[in-house]
Amino acid sequence: MAEESSDNVLERLDEHLRAHPRLQDRLYRQLLMTLHTQGVVSIERIYDEARLRAGLAPTPTLDDPNQPAGKRLDEDDRVGVEQVAREYASRHLGVADIDDLANLVVKREEARELGDIANLDTISFRLLADHVNRFCSIPLGATRLDPSEVLGIRVELIRRLINDQLEYIGVAKNFLHVRDFENLMGRIVGSDSGIGRIGGKSGGMFLAHRILEHSADSDDERCRIPESYYLRSDVINDFLELNRLSAYRNQKYKSVEDIRAEYPLIKGVFRNSDFPVEIVQSLRGMLEEVGTHPLIVRSSSLLEDRFGTAFYGKYASVFVTNQGELEQRLQILLGAIAEVFASIMAPDPILYRREHNLIDYDEDMAVLIQKVVGRQVGRYFAPAFAGVASSRNEYPFSARIRRRDGLCRLVMGLGTRAVDRVGSDYPRMVPLGQPTLRPESNAGEIRSHAQRGIDVLDLQSRSLRSVTLADLLSQHDDFPLLDGIVSVCRDGELYRPTGTMVREPADQLCITFDKLLAESDLADRLRKMLKRLETAYGVPVEIEFAHDGTDLYLLQCRCQTYPASASEPISADKLVIPTNIPPDRVVFTAHRYVRSALIEGLEYLIYVDPLKYHEVSSSQRRVAIGRVVGRLNRALADCDFALVGPGRWGSKDILLGVPVSYTDINHARLLIEVARARGGYVPEVSFGTHFFQDLVEAGIHYLPLYPDEPANCFSDAFFSGSANSLAELLPDDADFADEIRVIHIPEVADQCHLRVVMNGEVGQAIAYLE
């Protein structure tokens, strides 16, 4: 400590005493503790000196804890203690020490008041925000409050503003500090008099970002989150009350058919309803701040992205190009928020809640409004690339791939193609421990399994569009990181661009990400991020991300959820592929993308004939086929059954698969996608999509079949020649018997059931009657 005048030290002490008259006792108490802990003088010696000056004997040292230590000091004596402490402070402490101890006392007092406020049963957002701001306005100081002094405040702020789930709080309290809430609360939209939470999706992103900030070893390992605004969960209550829509909360108790039929009407009603004036004013101010940058309005339900219930893709997320005059942009934004509100009443989330015993939970919908990550390229706006990454890889296609290294699903442009099953398209599936490995063996296969459509925001038409690479590059040939994203097709082979500029025409380019994965640290960076998050959460996690060409952005983080049965190991002897099954009892075999599983006792097969489905020319009938599958799914809810159908179940392109949602398949034990040589139905092991994560969470096993490959067996006689029980189960749908066959296995196979053995280690599966 540099030498300082004793008068300066005492003068600074008196300044603090005058500035905080209510804290004088605590300031002197902290002064005593500072002198003691710095080894200047013990508290006992200060008291003894004060007693001697008061004409009292020093405090006796007694070994008997039942004897009093001596006469208590009266008010005059305490003044003596303070005087002795001041003398020692003037000789041994500096001005900085006095400032630090005073800062600590003030922080402790503000922390106590903030804790009292946060613990009140009823508290307004404005009052809570004011106390958080007051606490955060105090300088950090050299000495921090002990974590035990603020842990309760962290917990209460998390519970009131983010998430009340104990598992989430147990993780978040270790990473979210009181000061983290200051910036968060400045971006929360809601009435000053109300209180609500920012919901699961917002909370997951916010926590994950803080975890990664804490664990980053260097600036190169840091990631960003988009500029975000948080519409609190209580706003939906004000919205429903204002428009007399509260009765719609009882939709969750109706039948699935009624919910499905009424949902379009509800969306229309919500989109044309009014918002409270205070909320409209806040959103107008937000739009003035962000300008015309494109936005995405995302659901952030209180039930979403929680431990055990992820609600993968159950609620709406709406892109807003945010172009035009302010008032026009405001009305479009309000409509998007209303659509997200309405998605609480959609069939999928309601049935999901029923299955997870959450139907009676008073769910509220918060909304996350974010700037879309990306850059403008001519009339289009999109990130360079985006994707979804999981800390565990459940479908390794090579023995060199370790499950714990994780998997990434990577696409050029907006990440919608990474989480949705769309078109006859393929993302790049990246095992993060071996990023250059891929299942294709030659350039022809790589090209046929490459991404073709690129999702972008069209700023002119003000819509979300899918465009070709040629269309995108025609707007501007300087697309960010293009040399890392594409390969050049030449003489039947694929080559990485040698420089940063790609001059070849678009018809000679193929989206492969080969150069990016081989020459950058993206895969390793994602793997480390996932590992840190999994360690913090204590369970496997999944993230969504985007890259604008300069920075990597974290968009979402949620726990990967698995059924309880997934933790039960299957003995190796049960997964041995039997070789002595009579050919007439084998129903099918498979040799691609096989995950280890044993499925016994299957009683029914629901089979959508790929060739018959291909012949259906009406989109309405294809949609109707999906609805019939849904009714069968509910009719057989108490039975063990498998779904077998063409191409991609749940694809947004009904030409490539049966249009079903979670409510239509959730009771199946096995879902099979069939690729026939005719019809062009090509399965995709789309691990990482919302649809696929639904399968994993519900414990539905997945298997692709390629019947026309010579090594595989597929019993057409069994699938197409067995008696059809559709009319018995659903008499009103008997006219769909050509496309949909329901095979009651014991009835057609002498009381046998179907046994499916899937061995991921050897990459083989067999289904046979036993």
Question: Between the ranges 580-584, 675-679, 705-709, where is the mean pLDDT highest?
Answer: 580-584
**Helix, strand or coil, per DSSP, at residue 99:** helix
In this prediction, residues 179-191 reach a mean pLDDT of 93
Please say whether the dihedral angle defined by the alpha carbons of residues 202, 205, 211 and 212, taken in this order, is positive or negative.
negative
Nearest to 467 by CA among 455, 450, 485: 455
Q: Each residue of 538-569: pLDDT tens digit?
A: 999 999 999 999 999 999 998 887 655 555 56
The residue whose two tokens read 């939209």 is: 189
Residues written for the chain: 770
753 has pLDDT over 60: yes
Residue (of 229, 234, 233, 181) closest to 207 by Cα position: 181
Bridge partners (DSSP) listed for residue 106: none
Full 3-state SS string of 559-588: ECCCCHHHHCCCCHHHHCCCCCCCHHHEEE
Please classify residue 205 by burial: count the beta carbons closer than 10 Å to its beta carbon, then call 0-12 exposed, 13-18 middle and 19+ buried: buried
Residues 329-384: tens digit of each pLDDT: 999 999 999 999 999 999 888 888 888 888 888 788 999 999 999 999 999 999 99
DSSP assignment of 17-41: HHH-GGGHHHHHHHHHHHHHHTTS-
User: Which pair of structure tokens corresponds to residue 680?
Assistant: 């062009």
| pLDDT score of 97 more than 80 | yes
Residues 6+ apart with CB under 8 A from 668: 606, 633, 641, 642, 643, 700
**% of residues, the chain, pLDDT over 70:** 91
Q: What span, in angstroms and rounded, lies between the C-alpha atoms of 206 and 212? A: 10
Alpha carbon 314 to its chain's center: 12
Q: Read off the DSSP letter of residue 590.
A: E
pLDDT in tens, 34-65: 999 899 989 888 888 888 887 777 666 555 55
Pairing of strands 701-705, 670-674: parallel
pLDDT > 60? residue 682 = no
Q: Which residues touch 604 (CB under 8 Å, ≥6 apart)?
A: 636, 639, 640, 641, 642, 725, 742, 743, 744, 745
Rounded to whole angstroms, the Cα distance separating 761 from 574 reads 13
The mean per-residue pLDDT over the stretch 158-179 comes to 93
pLDDT > 90 in the chain, percent: 53
- Band of residue 642 on the pLDDT scale cut at 50, 70, 90: very high
Tokens of 326: 């302010």
Q: Which residues does residue 509 pair with via DSSP β-bridges, in sequence order?
A: 488
The amino acid at residue 215 is: S
How large is the average pLDDT for residues 106-122? 86
Q: Of 214 and 768, which is predicted with more confidence?
A: 768
DSSP 8-state symbol, 135: H
- Examine the pLDDT at 576 and tell me if it is beyond 50: yes
The residues that bridge with 408 in the sheet, in sequence order, are 389, 430
- Give the pLDDT of residue 385: 97
Q: What is the average pLDDT value for the chain, to the nearest integer?
A: 87
The band of 662, judged by pLDDT with boundaries at 50, 70 and 90, is confident
**Across 149-158, average pLDDT:** 90
How far is CA 214 from its chain centroid? 19
Please, which contacts does 502-506 make with residues 24 or more away whose CB atoms are closer than 8 Å?
502/477, 505/470, 506/468, 506/469, 506/470, 506/473, 506/474
Whether residue 730 has pLDDT greater than 90: yes
Rounded Cα gap, residues 162 and 306, in angstroms? 11
Could you read off the pLDDT of 489-531 as tens digits, one per residue? 998 899 999 888 888 999 999 999 999 999 999 999 999 999 9
The reported pLDDT for the residue numbered 566 is 52
Could you report the per-residue pLDDT of 265-321, keeping only the tens digit for each? 999 999 999 999 999 999 999 999 999 999 999 999 988 888 877 777 788 899 999
The CB density around residue 122, as the number of other CB atoms within 10 Å, is 5
> Hey, is 186 helix, strand or coil?
coil
Residues 6+ positions from 224 with CB-CB distance below 8 Å: 551, 552, 553, 554
Q: Is the distance from CB of 336 to CB of 320 less than 8 angstroms?
A: yes
Contacts of 31 (CB under 8 A, 6+ apart): 13, 85, 86, 89, 101
What is the enclosing helix (H) or strand (E) of 230? strand 228-231
C-alpha of 526 from chain center? 15
Q: Are 596 and 575 in contact (CB under 8 A)?
A: yes
Cα separation values, 527 from 394, 410, 676, Å: 15, 14, 36
Sequence-ordered list of residues with C-beta below 8 angstroms from that of 343, at least 6 positions apart, any chain: 299, 314, 315, 316, 349, 365
Closest CA to 203 of 114, 131, 298: 298
Look at residue 61 in the predicted model and tell me its pLDDT. Answer: 57
- The pLDDT value recorded for residue 271 is 94
Q: pLDDT of 125-148, one tens digit each?
A: 999 999 999 888 888 887 788 888
Question: Tokens 């791939």, residue?
Answer: 401
Residue 200 phi/psi, 5° resolution?
A: -70, -45
CB atoms closer than 10 angstroms to residue 770: 12
Q: How confident is the model at residue 2 (pLDDT cuts 50, 70, 90)?
A: very low
Structure token digits, residue 575: 């997964």
Cβ atoms of 308 and 342 within 8 Å: the answer is no
Which residues touch 500 (CB under 8 Å, ≥6 apart)? 483
Tokens 């937000």 found at = 286
DSSP strand pairing (486-490 vs 463-467): unpaired
pLDDT of the residue at 464: 95
Report phi then psi at 295, rounded to 5: -125, 160
| C-alpha dihedral (375, 377, 378, 382), degrees to nearest 10 | -70
- Per DSSP bridges, beta strands 375-377 and 380-382 are antiparallel
What pLDDT was estimated at residue 648?
Answer: 79
Q: What are phi and psi of 593, to 5 degrees?
A: 50, 50
User: Considering the entire predicted model, what is its pTM?
Assistant: 0.83
Query: What is the maximum span of the chain, computed from C-alpha positions, in angstroms?
Result: 111
User: What is the pLDDT at residue 143?
Assistant: 79
Task: Give the mean pLDDT of 739-752.
Answer: 94
The per-residue pLDDT for 458 is 96
* Token pair 């081989």 in the structure block, residue: 518
Between 419 and 198, the more confident residue is 198
Q: Rounded distance, CA 136 to CA 114, Å?
A: 11
pLDDT of residue 59: 64
Element holding 205 (H helix, E strand): helix 199-215
Element (H, E) at 277: helix 277-290
pLDDT band at 485 (very low <50, low <70, confident <90, very high): very high
pLDDT in tens, 279-295: 999 999 999 999 999 99
Bridge partners, 299 (sequence order): 367
